[in-house]
Amino acid sequence: MGDLFAVLLGVAILVWAAADGTVRIIRTAKTASKSLTRRLEALEATNQQLEEQLAEARERIETLERLATDGREQLRRDIDAL
């Protein structure tokens, strides 16, 4: 009877340890996932800002290229329009 109790107690401890370990792994994974999600959202926002800045810079470059290559009269009109 004593041996059966010891075996059952040992099995119960092993099951508890395995379950506890599994729960800890799942909790850690969820925390890491939330952190990665927040980081991804921040990177996406930064990327959006950089894309907007790049579009503005391209627009300015196109204007400067047009000013540099157009005739004098067109250049004068464009400068006055700015």
Beta-carbon count within 10 A of 78 CB: 13
| pTM (whole model) above 0.85 | no
Report pLDDT digits (tens) over 36-81.
Answer: 888 999 999 999 999 999 999 999 998 888 877 766 777 777 778 8
Task: Give the burial class of 20: count Cβ atoms within 10 A of its Cβ; 0-12 exposed, 13-18 middle, 19 or more buried.
Answer: exposed
Alpha carbons 82 and 6: distance in angstroms, whole number: 90
